[in-house]
Amino acid sequence: MEHIESLSGPTVILLHVEACDATKRAGSYALRLVREDGHWYGEMKSNATITAEYVFLVQALGFSIQSNRDDLVKYFLSEQNRDGSWSLAYDSPGDVSTTSEAYFALCLLGID
């Protein structure tokens, strides 16, 4: 079994102080972004899997997706890598799971 020394002394204190400071700054930043009615608004960065899962859910629930179809297709195609794959993160190589979900979502949207 590998021996791991626990942190102690000034190192632990410094780490604790830095963590508390970062938490306070993050909280202050979040509070500055709250709108008057109490909600936050901002851009959410993700990959194609979240949008694909939305398509799957709408399909599974039997709702129509036709009003959003063209925008969804444009989104998937804009996120596709040059080699035809989709990535987990921007400027990363293709990922089999992400590619499978994006491709299947496009199939459900009538693109194959």
Other CB atoms within a 10 A radius of the CB of residue 109 amount to 19
Q: What residue spans of the chain are helical by DSSP H? A: 10-32, 48-61, 69-79, 96-108
Average pLDDT rounded to a whole number, residues 88-102? 95
Q: Amino acid letter at 45?
A: K
Residue 94 DSSP SS3? strand
Average pLDDT rounded to a whole number, residues 10-22? 88
* C-beta of residue 109 within 8 angstroms of C-beta of residue 102: no
Task: Report the pLDDT value the prediction gives residue 7, as an integer from 0 to 100.
Answer: 59
Domain residue extents for the chain: 48-109
Task: Report the pLDDT value the prediction gives residue 4, as an integer from 0 to 100.
Answer: 47
Average pLDDT rounded to a whole number, residues 15-27? 94
Q: Amino acid letter at 91?
A: D
